[in-house]
Structure 1
Amino acid sequence: MSPVTIRTIQPADNPALAIIIRNALAEFGANKPGTVYYDATTDALYELFRQPGSIYYVAELDGVLIGGAGIFPSPGLPDGTCELVKMYLAAAARGKGIGKLLIDKALAFAGEAGYRNVYIETMPELRKAMSVYEKFGFKYLDGPMGNTGHFGCDIWMLKEL
């Protein structure tokens, strides 16, 4: 396998990323209201991640986008807390350690940006992702933090940096 390139998002990445995200949610039956499947920002990730305190990394293999993950200062989160967001991989890219590369890079940015905690919202349909987050030291919470608007997510996790 060729080496995977991890880089920051560019405007031309928007359409391919929107497809990867929506395909992954549909594949796992998680394409429901209150998720990023229906979120307009899913089609404009480059623009969304211009916000200070945020970053979005994409993974590329042989010039083809295969996934991404971001850090975002979601509304209503406590000071010093950001959210790991839009962590999705194309089906062919899973199980190869690419998600780990993206999460490592995102968590490193969060620490360098001065965040002390990283929050995640997910759903039972994405069990595989939950086990990955557990390996990174994310702990389950009893309820949501902040105001993400993703009422379709009913699993919440937090990691101290």
Structure 2
Amino acid sequence: MDQAWRDKFWVRDWQPGDRADAAKVIEQVLKEYGLPWEPEGADEELFNIDKYYWQQGGEFWVIEQAGTIVGTAAYYPIPKGNKAVEIRKMYLLPEVRGQGLGKYLLEELEKAIANRGFAEIWIETVTVLKEAVQLYESQGYQPITDVETARCDLAYIKKL
């Protein structure tokens, strides 16, 4: 990515004041694709980032453009695989897609994960998120059958 592109977006750690805006991004993208918003289920963790991410040794990022949150990306360690993490909540609003931001975020997540000594990355997603599926497959993620989240139908793994 060239510097001009990076100057358009700011990737930073989630802060408590981001809760409503980050949740709104995820809810909007889910609804766009006809997927359920589950604040008491698969999306519950958005309301307690400390517990689900930071206290577990993970990270949760927000992506800003001109002071507005336009995306999220996160990961946390999981008790399966070999020193594994799961990438979670990687969502971008439609107006910022198609610029390479998703690929950039995935690469940055992979660097952060590798720098912390993890050996595997797991991802769950759903077929209807065609752009995400294409991104993961183009970046070397291999399909597996270990799907745990009810709204997901695909899972992938990448060894670092």
> Shorter-chain TM-score: what band?
0.7 to 0.9
Aligned counterpart, 1:79 = 82
Query: Using a 3 Å threshold, how does the CA distance of structure 1 residues 28 and 66 change in structure 2: closer, same or farther?
Result: same
Q: Residue 49 of structure 1: which of 53, 61, 69 is its match?
A: 53
The answer to whether residue 147 in structure 2 is matched with residue 151 in structure 1 is: no
TM-score of the aligned structures, taking structure 2 as reference length: 0.86
Provide, for residues 25-45 of structure 1, a one-character-per-residue CA deviation record: whole Å limited to 9, x for no partner: 110112266x98753223333
Q: Secondary structure of 1:14's match?
A: helix
> What is the distance in 1 between the residues matched to 2:46 and 2:114?
25
Aligned to 1:126: 129
Of residues 133, 136, 139, the one that matches 1:136 is 139
User: Secondary structure of 2:54's partner?
Assistant: coil
Instruction: Encode CA deviations 1:36-90: one digit per residue, 9 max, x unaligned.
Output: 875322333355322242011211111111101111113x322311101100011
CA distance in 2, matches of 1:54, 1:16: 20
1:15 aligns with 2:17: no
1:31 aligns to 2:33 (yes or no): no
- Matched positions, count: 155
Q: Is the 8 A contact 1:32 1:152 kept in 2?
A: no
Shift >2 Å, 4+ stretches: 35-39, 42-49
Question: TM-score if structure 1 supplies the norm length?
Answer: 0.86
Q: Which 5+ residue runs of structure 1 have no aligned equivalent?
A: none
Contact persistence 1:10–1:46 (CA under 8 A): no
> Are the equivalent residues in 2 in contact too, given 1:138–1:158 (CA < 8 A)?
yes
Identical aligned pairs, as a percentage? Answer: 27
Q: CA deviation at 1:6?
A: 1.0
Q: Would the alpha carbon gap of residues 86 and 14 (structure 1) be closer, same or farther in structure 2, given more than 3 Å must change?
A: same
What RMSD, in angstroms, separates the aligned Cα atoms of the two structures? 2.2
Change in CA separation of 1:48 and 1:106 when aligned onto 2, cut-off 3 Å? same
Residue 39 to residue 52, structure 1, CA distance change in 2 (3 Å): closer
Inter-partner Cα distance in structure 2 for 1:134 and 1:44: 30
Contact 2:14 2:61 in 1 (8 A): yes
With over 3 angstroms needed to count, the CA separation of the structure-2 counterparts of 1:32 and 1:19, relative to structure 1, is: closer
Structure 2 unaligned spans of 5+: none
Q: Is the 8 A contact 1:14 1:46 kept in 2?
A: no
Structure 1 residues 95 and 27: alpha-carbon distance in aligned structure 2, compared to 1, 3 A threshold? same
